[in-house]
Amino acid sequence: MAQLRIALAQTNPTVGDLAANADLLVAWTRDAAEREAHLVVFTEMFLTGYPVEDLVLRTSFVDASIRTLEEVARRLDREGLGDLPVVVGYVDRAGLAPRVGQPRGAPLDAAALLHKGEVVTRTSKHHLPNYGVFDEYRYFVRGDRLPIFRLHGVDVAIAVCEDLWQEGGPVAVVGQAGAGLLVVPNASPYEKEKDDVRLELCARRAREAGCALVYVNQVGGQDELVFDGDSIVVDGSGELVARAGQFKEELLVVDLDLPVSDAPAGTFPYDAGDGSTITVDRLVLSADPVEPRPPVPARIAERLDPAAEVYSALVLAVRDYVTKNGFESVILGLSGGIDSALTATIASDAIGPSRVHVALMPSRYSSDHSLTDAEELVRRQGINARVVPIAEIVNAYEKEIDLSGLAAENLQARVRGMILMGLSNEHGHLVLTTGNKSELATGYSTLYGDSAGGFAPIKDVPKTMVWELSRWRNAHTDPSFLLDAEAPIPENSIAKEPSAELRPDQRDTDSLPPYEVLDRLLDDYVEKDMGSQELIAAGHDPALVTRVIRLVDLAEYKRRQYPPGPKITPKNFGRDRRLPITNRWRETTGPA
Amino acid sequence: MAQLRIALAQTNPTVGDLAANADLLVAWTRDAAEREAHLVVFTEMFLTGYPVEDLVLRTSFVDASIRTLEEVARRLDREGLGDLPVVVGYVDRAGLAPRVGQPRGAPLDAAALLHKGEVVTRTSKHHLPNYGVFDEYRYFVRGDRLPIFRLHGVDVAIAVCEDLWQEGGPVAVVGQAGAGLLVVPNASPYEKEKDDVRLELCARRAREAGCALVYVNQVGGQDELVFDGDSIVVDGSGELVARAGQFKEELLVVDLDLPVSDAPAGTFPYDAGDGSTITVDRLVLSADPVEPRPPVPARIAERLDPAAEVYSALVLAVRDYVTKNGFESVILGLSGGIDSALTATIASDAIGPSRVHVALMPSRYSSDHSLTDAEELVRRQGINARVVPIAEIVNAYEKEIDLSGLAAENLQARVRGMILMGLSNEHGHLVLTTGNKSELATGYSTLYGDSAGGFAPIKDVPKTMVWELSRWRNAHTDPSFLLDAEAPIPENSIAKEPSAELRPDQRDTDSLPPYEVLDRLLDDYVEKDMGSQELIAAGHDPALVTRVIRLVDLAEYKRRQYPPGPKITPKNFGRDRRLPITNRWRETTGPA
- Cβ neighbours of residue A78 under 8 Å, at least 6 residues apart? A117
pLDDT for B590: 45
- The model's pLDDT over B297-308, given as tens digits with 9 standing for 90+, comes to 999 999 999 999
Report d(CA A241, CA A129) in Å as an integer: 28
Q: Measured between alpha carbons, how far is B286 from A346 in angstroms, rounded to an integer?
A: 71
d(CA A230, CA A300): 10
Angle subtended by helix axes B405-427 and B391-400, to nearest 10: 120
The A residues from 28 to 87 touching B (CB cutoff 8 Å) are: 51-55, 57-61, 64, 68
- C-alpha–C-alpha distance, residues B157 and B171, integer Å: 9
Same structural domain for residues A258 and A404? no
Average pLDDT in chain A: 95
Please say which residue of B508, B525, B548 terminates a domain. B508
Cα B103 to Cα B125: distance, rounded to the nearest angstrom: 15
Whether B561 sits inside 8 A of A563 (CB atoms) is: yes
Q: Is A211 tagged catalytic?
A: no
Question: Is there a contact between B314 and B285 (Cβ–Cβ < 8 Å)?
Answer: no
Whether B175 is covered by a domain: the verdict is yes
Q: What is d(CA A161, CA A164) in angstroms, rounded to the nearest whole number?
A: 6
Residue to mutate among A56, A191, A425, with most B CBs inside 10 A, is A425
Is some CB atom of chain A closer than 8 A to the CB atom of B264? Answer: no
* Confidence label for B592 from pLDDT (cuts 50, 70 and 90): very low
> Is a pLDDT exceeding 90 seen at residue B279?
yes
Which CATH number covers residue B359?
3.40.50.620
**A68-79 residue pLDDT tens:** 999 999 999 999
Which of A135, A165, A580 has the CB atom closest to B53's CB atom? A580
> Among candidates B572, B576, B569, B571, which has minimal Cα distance to B194?
B569
Q: Are residues B182 and B58 in the same domain?
A: yes
Is pLDDT above 60 for B591? Answer: no
Q: At what angle do helices B405-427 and A405-427 cross, to 10 degrees?
A: 170
Q: Roughly what angle, to the nearest 10 degrees, separates helices A59-78 and A18-34?
A: 30
Per-residue HEC secondary structure of A311-371 comes to HHHHHHHHHHHHHHCCCCCEEEECCCCHHHHHHHHHHHHHHCHHHEEEEECCCCCCCHHHH
The HSE-up count of residue A63 (CA atoms within 13 Å, CB side) is 8
Mean pLDDT of B136-142: 96
pLDDT number for residue B589: 56
B74 is a domain residue = yes
What distance, in Å, lies between the first and last C-alpha atoms of chain A? 68
Does A233 share its domain with A340?
no
Question: Using a CB-CB distance cutoff of 8 angstroms, which residues of chain B are in contact with residue A14?
Answer: 582, 584
Asked whether residue B239 falls in the same domain as residue B362, the answer is: no
Mutation target to probe the B interface, by most B beta carbons within 10 A, among A72, A139, A582, A587 is: A582
B476-501 pLDDT, tens per residue?
Answer: 999 999 999 999 999 999 999 998 88
DSSP secondary-structure letter at B461? S
Q: Contact B16/A584, CB-based, under 8 Å? A: yes
Pair (B213, B333) in one structural domain: no
Q: What is the pLDDT of residues A197-206, one digit of tens each?
A: 999 999 999 9
For residue B156, name the pLDDT band (cuts at 50, 70, 90).
Answer: very high
pLDDT grade, residue A162 (50/70/90)?
A: very high
Annotation marks residue A125 as catalytic: yes
Arithmetic mean of pLDDT, B203-224: 97
What's the pLDDT score for residue B376? 98
pLDDT single digits (tens) A262-298: 999 999 999 999 989 999 999 999 999 999 999 999 9
Are residues B41 and B128 part of one domain? yes
Count of the separate structural domains present in chain B: 2
B100 touches chain A (CB under 8 A): yes
Pairwise pLDDT comparison (A581 vs A121), residue with the higher score:
A121
Q: Do B368 and B267 fall within a single domain? A: no
**Residues 369-408, chain B: which have Cβ within 8 Å of A?**
388-390, 392-393, 395-397, 399-404, 406-407
Out of A254, A284, A314, a domain closes at A284
* ipTM of model: 0.94
Q: What is the pLDDT of residue A581?
A: 87
Asked, for residue B485, whether it belongs to a domain, the answer is: yes
Q: Residue B402 sits in which domain range?
A: 306-508
- Domain end point (choices B455, B479, B508): B508
Chain B residues within an 8 Å CB radius of A581:
223, 325, 564
Annotated binding site of A for L-glutamine: 131, 188, 194
- Separation between Cα atoms, residue B420 and residue B448, nearest integer Å: 11
Contact A531 B58 (CB under 8 A): yes
pLDDT for position B97? 95
- Encode burial over A69-105: b for 16+ CB neighbours within 10 A, e otherwise: beebbebbbeeebbebbbbbbbbbbbeeeeeebbbbb
Identify the pLDDT of residue A589: 55
* DSSP structure string for A188-241: -B--TTHHHHHHHHHHHHHHHHTSEEEEEE-EEEETTEEEEB--EEE-TT--EE
DSSP letter for each residue of A437-501: HHHHHHT-S-TTTTT-SSB-TTTTS-HHHHHHHHHHHHH---TT-----SS-S-HHHHHSPP---
Cα separation, B189 vs B63, in Å, equals 26
Cα nearest neighbour of A553 on chain B: B55
How many Cβ atoms sit within 10 Å of the Cβ of residue A581? Answer: 22
Q: Measure CB to CB from residue A592 to each of B19, B127, B130 and give the nearest one.
A: B19
Q: How much is the CA Rg of chain A, to the nearest whole Å? A: 26
Does A219 map to a domain?
yes
The amino acid that residue B227 corresponds to is F
Residues near A494 by Cβ (< 8 Å), separated by ≥ 6? Answer: A338, A341, A467, A470, A471, A474
pLDDT by residue (tens digit) across B57-108?
999 999 999 999 999 999 999 999 999 999 999 999 999 999 988 999 999 9
Which of A54, A58, A389 minimises the CB distance to B578? A54
- Could you give the CA distance from residue A512 to residue B372 in angstroms, rounded to a whole number? 48
Do A107 and A197 fall into the same domain?
yes
* Number of helices followed by number of strands (H, E) in chain B: 18, 20
Residue A362 in this model has a pLDDT that exceeds 60: yes
Q: Closest Cα to residue A477, out of A329, A299, A245, A315?
A: A315
Cα(B586)–Cα(B592) distance, integer angstroms: 7
What CATH number should be reported for the domain holding residue B33? 3.60.110.10
* Amino acid at position A93, single letter: R
Contacts with A513 (C-beta within 8 Å, 6 or more apart), sequence order: A521, A544, A548
CB atoms B52 and A583 under 8 Å? yes
Mutate to test the interface with A, among B583, B586, B588, B589 (most CBs of A within 10 A): B583
What percent of chain A shows pLDDT beyond 70? 99
Selecting among A136, A161, A309, A376, the annotated active-site residue is A161
Asked whether the predicted pLDDT for residue A335 surpasses 50, the reply is: yes
Q: Which residues contact A562 (CB under 8 A, 6 or more apart)?
A: A433, A435, A440, A451, A456, A459, A573, A574
Instruction: Identify which of B15, B388, B563 has the shortest CB distance to residue A401.
Output: B388
B 429-458 residues with CB < 8 A to A: 447-448, 452, 454
Told to judge if B328 belongs to the known catalytic residues of this protein, a careful annotator would answer no
CA distance B9 to B24: 10
Cα–Cα distance for residue pair B106/B146, rounded to 1 Å: 19
The answer to whether A417 contacts chain B (CB < 8 Å) is: yes
**Which residues, at least 6 apart from A118, have a Cβ–Cβ distance to it below 8 Å?**
A73
Count of beta carbons in the 10 Å neighbourhood of residue B257:
14
Handedness of CA A64, A65, A69, A72 (dihedral sign): positive
Residue A44 and residue A8 share a domain: yes
| Sign of the torsion formed by the C-alpha atoms of A159, A162, A164 and A166 | negative
Position A88 in a domain: yes
Of A346, A406, A338, the C-alpha closest to A373 is A338
Contact B584 A324 (CB under 8 A): yes
Cα–Cα distance between A482 and A323 in angstroms, integer?
14
Average pLDDT score, chain B: 95
B533 reaches A (C-beta below 8 A): yes
Task: Identify the helix (H) or strand (E) that includes residue B438.
Answer: helix B437-442
The sheet with strand A212-217 has its strands ordered as A240-243, A232-234, A212-217, A181-186, A154-158, A145-151, A277-284, A266-271
Q: Give backbone dihedrals phi and psi of A469, rounded to 5 degrees, phi first.
A: -65, -35
| A591 pLDDT higher than 60 | no
User: How far, in Å, CA of B458 to CA of B462, rounded?
Assistant: 8
Size of interface A-B (CB pairs under 8 A): 278
Q: What percent of chain A has pLDDT over 90?
A: 88
Q: Is A178 exposed, middle or buried (0-12, 13-18, 19+ CB in 10 A)?
A: middle
Which residues have CB under 8 Å from B143's CB, separation 6+? Answer: B94, B108, B109, B110, B123, B124, B125, B126, B160
Please indicate, yes or no, whether residues A280 and A311 belong to a single structural domain of this protein: no
- Tens of pLDDT along A94-153? 999 999 889 999 999 999 999 999 999 999 999 999 999 999 999 999 999 999 999 999
- Say yes or no: B260 and B135 in one domain: yes
Cβ(A134)–Cβ(A167) under 8 Å? no
Amino acid at B572: N
Question: Sign of the CA dihedral B559, B565, B568, B574?
Answer: positive
In a domain, B557, yes or no: no
Judge whether B39 lies within some domain.
Answer: yes
Question: What's the predicted TM-score (pTM) here?
Answer: 0.96
Interchain CB distance below 8 Å, B52 and A580: yes
Of chain B, the percentage scoring pLDDT greater than 90 comes to 88
What pLDDT, in 10s, does the model give residues A180-192? 999 999 999 999 9
Burial (0-12, 13-18, 19+ Cβ within 10 Å), B288: exposed
Residue in B136, B161, B324, B376 annotated catalytic: B161
**Residue B19 class from Cβ within 10 Å (0-12 exposed, 13-18 middle, 19+ buried)?**
middle
B382 vs B167, residue with greater confidence: B382
In a shared domain, residues A228 and A80:
yes
| Maximal CA-CA distance, chain A | 87
**CA–centroid distance for B483 within its chain:** 22
CB atoms within 10 A of CB A47: 27
Q: Is A10 helix (H, G, I), strand (E, B) or coil?
A: strand
Determine, for residues A577 and B221 on separate chains, whether the beta-carbon distance falls below 8 Å: no
Cα→Cα distances A246→A10, A53, A417, A490, B122, Å? 10, 25, 35, 28, 50
Residue A518 lies in a domain: no
Q: Which positions 144-183 of B are in contact with A (Cβ < 8 Å)?
A: 162, 165-167
Residue B148 confidence (pLDDT) above 80: yes
- Quickly state the pLDDT bin for A592 (edges 50, 70, 90): very low
